[in-house]
Amino acid sequence: MSAETQPVTQPATAPVTSSVTETARRAKEAAASLAPLPRTARDEALLAVADALVAGTPGIVEANTVDVESARAAGTAESTVDRLTLTPERIAAMASDVRDVVALPDPVGDVVRGSTLPNGLELRQVRVPLGVVGIVYEARPNVTVDAAALCLKSGNSVLLRGSSSAYSSNSALVEVVREAVSATGLPADAVQLVPGGGRESVRELMRARGLVDVLIPRGGASLIRAVVEESTVPVIETGVGNCHVYVDESADLDTAVRILVNSKAQRPSVCNAAETVLVHAGIADAFLPRALEALAGAGVTVHGDEAWQKAAEQLGRLNGRATDGGYGPELRMVPATEEDWGTEYLSYDIAAGVVPSLDAAVQHIRTWSSGHTEAVVAQDTAAARRFTSLVDSTAVMVNASTRFTDGGQFGFGAEIGISTQKLHARGPMGLPELTSTKYVVTGDGHVRP
């Protein structure tokens, strides 16, 4: 578990086990109160939360300043500091996102399927809240409000375990949310921060089976792995994104270059950014020079196999050694290693290889992919269909950027994370994925013979 996930510690004498357990008990009681409430009650609470965020902006910014100053004093990278920072504009955007959640369809009570059995029993399978959702996450404090809003909308209570870098911000945000929720008559304990310091509080949360219904880790690979491996509470595993773009022999070159650059460089620090590009050997001579030029223009360093290295050498602007007069952007190339194929860079880096066939590309993806998102660029519809049938990831894009794997982009409104597992939730997790189901069976004095 990364150091970033450790919250500001409480006094060493604090009874971490009992306080985490007691917090979870209160959350369970709150969940029982939330479940039967109509949509109007939950929506009213969320609208109050949105208004309270705007009204509480000065206090939230003040608390966030403590986190930002601490991060800078610790030498934290400015990119991370920026993700941590809350401005009045960003808080207003958070409030707007909460209002957007209010407008989303309510999944609770939806009938998934139903029928009248031959014996006359009426059978309905309906959506119900999961109950108590625990979320362990890193860095950005906006996750605190997003998670609270989505859980409240779907009738769940939520236990929030954020990172130490955002402790003051998260505390202020949760206090604002709790006061707003309570003012509308909903239980304030529907939204709580997990108490305690260090790993012990997370460990107790992961072992609160029977009180916490599901845990959702959001963050880096080490955080997710720790929660998955150590938790006795059921876990919905959100995804590390080693995403691939495969350029088929039938691809249109302009389309392929555009999709590749967007997948990699539009926002490289997120899980749906491409980390590997694979190119069919039949199109490599034509595609590689154009791809290298475009990637160089986007500031991307290519971790290339021999074919990519040779193409870069022929262009003559490799790593500052200009042999053609020095025009155009510098090509940054390093030899690909075995480690590169499995790396989620989250930076302006991409692994690049040439494969002899579509099936070879699929085999490479099966070996190295994290199961998040893969894209195929192909004009041959049969090739595209074969790729989509053979690749087993949460999302497979055909002639589209990997960056579209996102709850908002899919029209879900918002997401709690992107699940890479194969249980009830897979891919972007919207409101329906925060529900389970139960069967309601209605008879007329029926008894089983």
Whether residues 335 and 231 fall in one domain: no
Whether residues 21 and 122 fall in one domain: yes
Tell me, what CATH number does 248's domain have?
3.40.309.10
Strand partners, 376: 246, 398
Domain count, the chain: 2
Predicted pLDDT at 139? 66
Whether 317 contacts 310, CB under 8 Å: no
Q: Is residue 230 part of a domain?
A: yes
All residue ranges of the chain with pLDDT < 50 are: 1-16, 322-327
Whether residues 40 and 177 fall in one domain: yes
Whether residues 233 and 251 fall in one domain: no
> What rounded mean pLDDT belongs to the chain?
90
Structural domain harbouring 228: 15-238+429-442
Q: Is residue 421 part of a domain?
A: no
Whether residues 75 and 123 fall in one domain: yes
Predicted pLDDT at 237? 83
Q: Is residue 410 part of a domain?
A: no
Predicted pLDDT at 9? 36
Closest listed residue to residue 345, CA positions, set 406, 269, 294: 269
Q: Is residue 2 part of a domain?
A: no
Whether residues 251 and 377 fall in one domain: yes
Query: Kind of pairing, strands 191-193 and 157-161?
Result: parallel
Angle (CA) 22 13 5, round 5°: 70
Contacts of 175 (CB under 8 A, 6+ apart): none
Whether residues 216 and 258 fall in one domain: no
Distance (Å, whole) CA 330 – CA 325:
12
Q: Is residue 196 part of a domain?
A: yes
Whether 430 contacts 110, CB under 8 Å: no
Whether residues 233 and 249 fall in one domain: no
Whether residues 24 and 142 fall in one domain: yes
Closest listed residue to residue 106, CA positions, set 48, 37, 52, 33: 37
- Positive/negative CA dihedral, 300, 163, 167, 171: positive
Whether residues 133 and 224 fall in one domain: yes
Q: Is residue 105 part of a domain?
A: yes
Closest listed residue to residue 434, CA positions, set 231, 238, 282: 238
Predicted pLDDT at 78? 85
Whether residues 194 and 48 fall in one domain: yes
Tell me, what CATH number does 89's domain have?
3.40.605.10
Distance (Å, whole) CA 114 – CA 270:
40
pLDDT, tens only, 226-274:
888 999 999 998 878 899 999 999 999 999 999 999 999 999 988 899 9
Whether residues 388 and 435 fall in one domain: no
Predicted pLDDT at 407? 86
